[in-house]
Structure 1
Amino acid sequence: MDLIWEGLRKALELLLTLDPEVLRVTLLSLQVSGAATLISLVIGLGIAVPVALNEFPGKRLVIALLNTGMGLPPVVVGLFVTVLLWRSGPLGFLEILYTPSAMILAQAVIASPIIAGISLSALQHLPPGLRLQILALGASRPQMVWLLLKEARLPLLAAVMAGFGGVISEVGASIMVGGNIKGQTRVLTTATVMETGRGNFEVAFALSIILLILAFSVNAVLTHVQQRDRPR
């Protein structure tokens, strides 16, 4: 219990003194996970929309694969992306391994199935006749898709929150593809693991608390937007 209180005290100290290293790590965490979430939103919707709005052979298999992808182990993703980006790998020519770009790529792989799966479910649960009603009113297909996305905006925002929560808190893939390099690829989760390994539990608790504050702040903003748009 003393470690927890000491961690709280240390977290307040680091926040109030605007410790440069903590600020750097916190901002990098937000930048990497934020960029990965935005990329995942584009990919996720790009998969969910055509799967939800079209019938084709193997649709149930595709949905099963998406649902399976929602539980991808981060270390497996980290290994896969590391092999791809390794010097002798298919994407080695990019030379982005152990950089924030590699971390964004790995986190996007983790979050994309989460956003795609929840978005697909949201679109499938819209009234079956809504699509036909929109088209009957003269809307083009892109306009129809946009209106359906607006109708499903509340669960879609939940998908974004789930995707962001999945990547801001992961550590395995970030360490494997980023290397936890000070000043370059060290984020809150990897720094917490490092400090715990060194036995600096107070600092580890402080970083964990800052991570929780960051995750809560982002999700609080998204929740405010979600609930503001909720039908009365």
Structure 2
Amino acid sequence: MDGFWSILAQSIGLILSWDPALMEIVGLSLRVTVTAVILACLIGLPLGALVGAFRFPGRPVVNVMLNALMGLPPVVVGLCVYLMLSASGPLGILGLLYTPTAMIIAQTILVTPIIAALTRQVVEDLQGEYADQFASLGVGPVDRIGALLWDARYSLMTVALAGFGRAVAEVGAVMIVGGNINHVTRVMTTTIALETSKGNLQLALALGVVLLGLAIVLNAAVMSLRASAVRAAYA
């Protein structure tokens, strides 16, 4: 028991002292994850809004696919991206394997279906409320999607935060395509796995505390956004 508290105290010390190695890993993790979530939102928000706002042939199939892809196994995504970016793959000439860019690609693929599926549900609910008004005003497709996305902005911020939470905790795909290379592609989750196996529990636990802190901040942000959305609805 004393050993646990000693390791915890050393871990907290690493965080409070802004240990350079720790901050480098945290910084890379956040850069990769934030970039992936932004790209996923650029793809997933319009896609989800399009599926949620309009009826078209094959729409039920698209809905099923989006919902199914929310549960994509990270290691499968990592393997597919690895094969695409490897020297013998179609994109091997770009030399992206074992770089932060490869990790961003993998995380974007994982998060985009989540963003799209959740956006579809939010927009579909709003479309049911506004369908008559859109029809009476003759609102075009582009303006309709823009209006729905704007009106759902608080809920969609929550969607983006959910995507961030999924991406920042991911380990399998980024381990495969990033290689967990020190000072290059070593992020929080892969470092925790590596350092635990090496017995360097202080750094592993410090990163675990940071991840837990991020989870708490994300949940607080989600609750705050939901409260803001409720206040805006009744304003």
What TM-score do you get using the length of structure 2 for normalisation? 0.90
2:10 partner letter? K
Instruction: Say whether 1:200 aligns with 2:205.
Output: no
Looking at structure 1, the residues matched to 97 and 3 of structure 2 have their Cα atoms a distance apart, in angstroms, of: 36
Deviation for aligned residue 1:4: 4.8
Deviates more, 1:7-16 or 1:127-136: 127-136
Q: CA contact under 8 A between 2:77 and 2:109: conserved in structure 1?
A: yes
Deviations 1:80-122 (A, max 9, x none): 0000000110111111110000000000000000011111111
Instruction: Give secondary structure in 2 for the equivalent of 1:126.
Output: helix
Matches within 5 A, 1:1-232: 2=2, 4-137=4-137, 139-221=139-221, 223-230=223-230, 231-232=233-234
Deviation for aligned residue 1:8: 3.2
Task: Using the aligned pairs only, state the percent identity.
Answer: 41
Deviates more, 1:207-216 or 1:72-81: 207-216
- Per residue, is there more helix in 1 or in 2? 2
Deviates more, 1:49-58 or 1:67-76: 49-58
Looking at structure 1, the residues matched to 18 and 116 of structure 2 have their Cα atoms a distance apart, in angstroms, of: 37
Looking at structure 1, the residues matched to 120 and 2 of structure 2 have their Cα atoms a distance apart, in angstroms, of: 46
Looking at structure 2, the residues matched to 51 and 138 of structure 1 have their Cα atoms a distance apart, in angstroms, of: 19
Deviation for aligned residue 1:2: 4.8
Instruction: Give secondary structure in 2 for the equivalent of 1:158.
Output: helix
1:163 partner letter? G
Distance 1:107 1:4, change over 3 A: farther
What TM-score do you get using the length of structure 1 for normalisation? 0.91
Distance 1:164 1:193, change over 3 A: same
Looking at structure 2, the residues matched to 126 and 42 of structure 1 have their Cα atoms a distance apart, in angstroms, of: 20
Q: CA contact under 8 A between 2:45 and 2:115: conserved in structure 1?
A: yes
Which ranges of structure 1 fall in alignment gaps of 5 or more residues? none
Q: CA contact under 8 A between 2:123 and 2:148: conserved in structure 1?
A: yes
Deviation for aligned residue 1:56: 1.9
Looking at structure 2, the residues matched to 41 and 2 of structure 1 have their Cα atoms a distance apart, in angstroms, of: 46
Root-mean-square deviation (CA), in Å?
1.9
Which ranges of structure 2 fall in alignment gaps of 5 or more residues? none
Q: CA contact under 8 A between 1:157 and 1:226: conserved in structure 2?
A: no
Deviations 1:17-56 (A, max 9, x none): 1111100100111110000001001111132122122222
Distance 1:3 1:125, change over 3 A: farther
Deviations 1:128-168 (A, max 9, x none): 25033135336443332222112222332221121111110
Looking at structure 2, the residues matched to 177 and 216 of structure 1 have their Cα atoms a distance apart, in angstroms, of: 28
Q: CA contact under 8 A between 1:3 and 1:202: conserved in structure 2?
A: no
Deviations 1:161-219 (A, max 9, x none): 21111110010011101111111111110100001111223332221111222343355
Q: CA contact under 8 A between 2:14 and 2:203: conserved in structure 1?
A: no
1:46 partner letter? P
Looking at structure 1, the residues matched to 12 and 96 of structure 2 have their Cα atoms a distance apart, in angstroms, of: 35
Distance 1:133 1:3, change over 3 A: farther
Q: CA contact under 8 A between 2:52 and 2:124: conserved in structure 1?
A: yes
